[in-house]
């Protein structure tokens, strides 16, 4: 009898663990929504895109640190954050401030908007901007030759780093998933 009761308890625990994990993930996934919406409104960038970048870069952890010195939600490097700080009138920005979710999201979204504007003459600037965000402008210029210079689908195929290609595809796919989480007022005037 004891053994049967023990098996029932173990079965219940095993059944509950995935549900608890799902609840934790769902809560984590929405933990930065107010910050994302503030950055989206300020810089007119689609909140679903910002959220997808944060998902890929830090999985919503404002204390995340990359191997090459990237910091926070959007995994910013010092040059990009200082460029934003100068434009925002808060230069110099101490690196410790990039752990603050709103500061990081504002700086990262400003930088992402700058990249989106850089590729605005393409059919869809988003894949180009994401590749630039991940691998840098010099690499994007190498991959954006011929038809790939303006056609985003061809450009994605020409991305020379498999990791960057996976990055771009993952962020684009996640953006589609997140689009349903934001209402029309959240998207008003935002860059796709």
d(CA 190, CA 41): 7
Q: What is the model's pTM?
A: 0.85
57 counts as catalytic: yes
Which residue has tokens 């020409």? 158
Which among 39, 47, 41, 57 has a CA at the least distance from the CA of 111?
A: 39
E strand or H helix at 150: none
Residue-level pLDDT, tens digit, the chain, 192 residues: 677 777 776 666 666 656 544 554 566 789 999 999 999 999 999 999 999 999 999 999 999 999 999 999 999 999 999 999 999 999 999 999 999 999 999 999 999 999 999 999 999 999 999 999 999 999 999 999 999 999 999 999 999 999 999 999 999 999 999 999 987 666 555 555
How far apart CA 167 and CA 57 sit, in angstroms, is 9
pLDDT for residue 91: 94
Pick the catalytic residue from 25, 38, 46, 57. 57
């Amino acid at each position: 009898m004891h053994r049967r009761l023990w098996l029932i308890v173990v079965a219940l625990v095993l059944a509950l663990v995935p549900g608890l994990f799902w609840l934790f993930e769902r809560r984590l996934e929405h933990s930065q929504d107010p910050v994302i919406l503030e950055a989206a409104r300020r810089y007119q960038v689609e909140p679903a895109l910002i959220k997808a970048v944060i998902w890929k870069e830090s999985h919503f952890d404002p204390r995340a640190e990359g191997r090459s010195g990237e910091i926070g939600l959007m995994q910013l490097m010092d040059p990009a954050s200082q460029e934003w700080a100068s434009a925002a009138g808060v230069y110099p920005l101490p690196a410790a401030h990039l752990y603050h979710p709103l500061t990081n999201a504002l700086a990262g979204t400003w930088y992402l908007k700058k990249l989106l504007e850089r590729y605005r003459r393409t059919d869809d600037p988003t894949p180009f901007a994401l590749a630039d965000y991940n691998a840098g402008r010099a690499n994007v210029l190498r991959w954006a030759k011929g038809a790939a210079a303006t056609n985003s689908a061809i450009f994605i195929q020409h991305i020379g780093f498999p990791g960057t290609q996976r990055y771009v595809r993952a962020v684009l796919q996640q953006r589609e998933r997140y689009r349903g989480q934001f209402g029309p007022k959240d998207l008003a005037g935002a860059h796709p």
